[in-house]
Amino acid sequence: MLEFEREVRSWRMEVERRSSLSPRELDELEDHLRALVDLEMELDATLARPEAFAIAREALGEPRALSTEFARAGRPRWKRLLAGASALYAASLLLPVIRWSLPWGLDSTTRGYEMFSDGGPVLILLNLSMLIVLPVIWRYPRIKGTWLAGILGVIGVATLGLGAAALVSNGWDALTTLRSGFWAWSASFALASSALWLRRRGWASARPKQDSHPGLKLGASQESNRV
């Protein structure tokens, strides 16, 4: 029995290392593994527990395949991140982005939509990379979006880094120049990049849709085949 528990722990560590499953998903998957082991021993009384474990482990599949199955069966959590990124980006178009110091002691604040229309070709291209996220990802789900995640990540990290450098060099005075719209705009790119990377890895909720679950399906199909 102790040997079996060590094998289960070793299997769990391997799945955790080679997949994107959360701790709750790993707990659920381990429960199904143990249930499959018990099922194998009930269906074939000649099987020892290590042999039943080997059969159950093979039936569940490779860690990466398990991660993909959970993504199909569960509620994709990356969509929440992408929705949050879209909300931040939309808000940044209305929020003040930067404050300009003009001659004769005058100040002017530029909002996001003004930066988008008057910021020049470079800024327009940066914004276009965010605007194409939703139609590309939701309309064409087979597109992995890895290249797009990389572009968004570079933009988000670079601009947040520039903002942090301004805070270090100018202190809190930098906040009077870089307004809330700048931080929302930069954070939206970083958040969208994270969402696409997690989508690529199949990051799904531990609570499956309806009753679908790869382990349950495997167990049911094996039992029906044996009968």
What DSSP designation does 109 have? E
Please give the pLDDT value at position 188: 93
Residues 83 and 188 in one domain: yes
Residues 95 and 26 in one domain: no
For the chain, the domain total comes to 2
Residues 146 and 121 in one domain: yes
The radius of gyration computed from the CA coordinates of the chain, to the nearest angstrom, equals: 25
Residues 10 and 94 in one domain: no
98 pLDDT more than 70: yes
Tens digit of each residue's pLDDT (9 = 90 or more) over 27-85: 888 888 888 888 888 888 888 888 888 888 888 777 667 666 665 655 567 778 888 99
Please give the pLDDT value at position 106: 63
From the list 12, 9, 11, the residue with the least C-alpha distance to 26 is 12
Residues 188 and 92 in one domain: yes
190 pLDDT more than 90: yes
- Quickly list H helices, the chain: 2-18, 23-43, 49-60, 63-73, 78-92, 112-118, 120-131, 133-139, 146-170, 174-177, 180-200, 214-226
Residues 146 and 186 in one domain: yes
Instruction: State the pLDDT confidence band at 183, using cuts at 50, 70 and 90.
Output: very high
From the list 190, 188, 185, 191, the residue with the least C-alpha distance to 115 is 185
> What residue numbers bound the domain in which 30 lies?
2-75+206-226
20 pLDDT more than 90: no
Tens digit of each residue's pLDDT (9 = 90 or more) over 140-182: 655 666 788 888 899 999 999 998 998 888 877 777 888 889 9
Beta bridge partners of 111: 96
SS3 96: strand
What pTM was computed for the model? 0.58
Residues 70 and 105 in one domain: no
Residues 85 and 143 in one domain: yes
Pick the more confident residue, 185 or 109: 185
Residues 92 and 189 in one domain: yes
Instruction: State the pLDDT confidence band at 139, using cuts at 50, 70 and 90.
Output: low
Instruction: State the pLDDT confidence band at 221, using cuts at 50, 70 and 90.
Output: very low
Residues 125 and 185 in one domain: yes
